[in-house]
Every structure is written in C-alpha cells, then in structure tokens.
Amino acid sequence: MRFDIITIFPEMFGGFLGAGILGKAVAKGLLDIRIHDLRDQAEGRHRQVDDRPFGGGEGMVLMPGPVFQAVEAVRESAETPVILLSPQGRLFNSEMARDWAGRRQVVLICGRYEGVDERVGLRLASAEVSIGDYVLTGGEPAAMVVVDAVARFVPGVVGKAASVAHDSFAEGLLDCPHYTRPRVFRGEVVPDVLFSGDHARIERWRRRQALAKTLDRRPDLVGRRPPAAADRCAAATSRRLWRPSSPVIGRPARIEAACRRMTSW
C-alpha cells in the first residue's frame, strides 16, 4: 500500500519511517511511504506556498494552487482517498483506518499556519480529519498518527503477537491489566487469580477488568458496542449492575446510571 504525504516539513518524517514496526514494513515492501515537499510545487523565485488571508486577520493561509498541483501529481486514480489533516476535520477513528487500509493509495495533506484555503477541503480532499481536541503546531504529527493506525490494518504489517483482530478497539473495550515479574513490586502484589492456573477463571477476570476500566474511563465506548453474552455474564457476576437478560445496546441512559453507581468491582 502506498501513502503520499504532502508537507512543508518533509524532514519531520525521517525517524518515524525508519524505526519500529513501520520501518520494518517499509523495508519489507509492504508499505511505500513517499514524502513530498509542497514547496516543489510553488511558483516564482520565493517558492511561495502561503499568503495573507482575504478579509484581513493574523497569520498566513496555504494557497490552493500548490496543494492542488501536489495532489494531482501523485494521485493514481479518482478513487484514491485524499485526506486533509485539520483541526476542523471529523474525528479520526478505527473505522476510517480500516477503510483506508483497503485502498491501493492514500494521499495526506498536512495543514499549517492559520489554515488552508477552503477550496482544498471543499473540492480536492475527500475527507477532512482531526485526531483530537487539542491544538498541534501543524498537521505533520497528525499525518503520522493516521499512517500508523492505517498501516496496522495492512496484512503482514503487525505480527501475530499484537494481533489486530483481538485489539481492544476492535472489541470496543479498553485492554485488561497486564503483569509480569516480580510478583511483588514496591509493596504492590499481582492478583492471585493470575496464578490459579484456571484459564476460564483468568479469562473471566480479564474480561471483567476490561469492562470495569472501560466503564470508568470510557463509558462512551460501552454504549457503542454490540451486546456480548460474556459481558452480561461478567457484569452480573460482579455487582448485579446489569441483569444477564438486559441488552447492553440501545440503552445509553441505563449504562450511564450503571457507570455512576459503580466505583470498584
């Protein structure tokens, strides 16, 4: 799969592409990640890619010309998703990552300054995406986040050990706690159940911990996921907050109430 990233700071991507799981995938030829300097598309002696906003105001706006040129020079087909990274975008999520991982090519445009000419988002990009409610200095770190999350869904990029299908967001829950040696660390002990050798009990414990952590920290995730018998069971065995017969989905108010009542399991 091929990524084309359009940026005015190509040097930011060096370390990101050279190391770790992504570096290995690039070396194996599973990913082809190309960085393009927007200034290569600029005209004139000053290689200008930004200008002052019409109507007045602070800062500079990326001009549409160089951005359109850059995208049109790299896109292989009209089907290629063209993603504008911007604070005004829709929130990036796992479904978008999975969708884009199924494409031959994805083009990413990194925003900067006070913004990008509106016609880029309107007529060139197929999606405008933000990675969260915090202000970055530019779209480059956001592009790295998107590439990383998309790449994980490309077959062969992630090994069995970190199996994509079993990952927490795929199941709609946060991960359960993990422990390793030593058994006692600075007075904190590893839960006994993990030494019981009873794999069914350990699985139930992990499931319940994952559910408890999710309800505590990310109740928004619980409302979205499909009902699973195992979770109704786990919930019922811990505090009877939910009866085994009560469907988990479609009742956000009920889930909210359960979350508020629950402090610990």
- List of residues contacting ligand 9D3 (CB under 6 A): 85-87, 111, 114-115, 130-132, 134-136, 138-139, 142
Hey, what's the torsion of the CAs at 200, 201, 203, 208, to 10 degrees?
140
Q: In what order do the strands lie in the sheet with 115-116?
A: 50-51, 61-62, 115-116
Q: How far is the CB of 64 from ligand 9D3 (least distance, A)?
A: 16
Q: How far is the CB of 35 from ligand 9D3 (least distance, A)?
A: 16
Nearer Cβ to ligand 9D3, position 66 or 115?
A: 115
Phi, psi dihedral angles at 107 (to 5 degrees): -105, 130
| Token pair listed for 26 | 């690039």
Phi, psi dihedral angles at 76 (to 5 degrees): -85, -30
Nearer Cβ to ligand 9D3, position 17 or 109?
A: 109
Nearer Cβ to ligand 9D3, position 130 or 214?
A: 130
Distance from C-alpha of 258 to C-alpha of 239, rounded to nearest angstrom? 10
- Give me the active site residues, please: 87, 114, 152, 167
- Residue for token digits 């990413």? 108
Q: Which of 145, 179, 160 is nearest to 3 (CA)?
A: 145
Q: How far is the CB of 93 from ligand 9D3 (least distance, A)?
A: 13
The Cβ of residue 241 has, within 10 Å, a number of other Cβ atoms equal to 17
Q: How far is the CB of 85 from ligand 9D3 (least distance, A)?
A: 4
Nearer Cβ to ligand 9D3, position 66 or 223?
A: 66
